Copies of this chain bind each other. A is one copy, B any other.
Amino acid sequence: MAKPPKTRAVETDAIASEAAAQPSYGALQGLLGYQLRRAQLRVYDDFLRTLAQWQMTPPRYAALEIVAENAQLKLTDLANMLGIARSGAVLLVDTLVEMGYMERLPSLTDKRAFALKMTTAGQATLKAIRTAVQAHEAHITAQLSPAERAKLLQLIERVG
């Protein structure tokens, strides 16, 4: 599908997995912020593993869904929806264009702007990616009942 941007290889010296004798995390255990962060790292890892064959990362995937969902989206709109700076959105879109997922079409109403659009191939691949994302979601919620998953989703949206 195109030039594969990097995701990172895991090698030798890296992260070990054993800890101290009887290590204690003290006050951290009961902190929502801390547990949220640890969970996010676990989830991120599983996402990368599950979607490795598409070189997909969470921000890339979010950008694809947003562009697929919103016709005539400007790059600045995408940046705002993702909560990142425009300069970052440029790089993200560059990558996704290189990968063949989307393209920059001239905006119908503003000669300064582009209208972001999924390519035909990108739309097709997104379908496969969505299946993988569902598998990913299944992995990370494997220890939760459907009701618990729904409850969790509802509670998380009220955090922050």
Please give the residue numbers on chain A whose beta carbons come within 8 Å of chain B beta carbons, in ascending order.
13-20, 23-28, 30-47, 58, 62, 65-66, 68-70, 73-74, 76-77, 79-81, 83-86, 130, 133, 136-137, 140-141, 143-144, 148-149, 151-153, 155-160
Return chain B residues, CB-CB under 8 Å to A58. Answer: 33-34, 37
A68 contact set on B, CB distance < 8 A: 26
Q: In whole angstroms, what is the CA distance A61 to B50 when docked?
A: 31
Quick one: copies of this chain in the complex?
A: 2
A-B contact pairs, 5 of them (CB 8 A): A15-B84, A32-B153, A32-B156, A140-B160, A144-B159
Evaluate contact between A25 and B140: CB separation under 8 angstroms.
no
Q: B27 touching A130 by the CB < 8 A rule?
A: yes
Does the CB pair B130–A159 fall under 8 Å? no
Besides A33-B44, A33-B136, A43-B159, 13 more A-B contacts (Cβ < 8 Å) are A20-B81, A25-B66, A32-B153, A32-B156, A33-B58, A35-B157, A36-B40, A37-B40, A42-B159, A42-B160, A46-B160, A141-B159, A148-B158
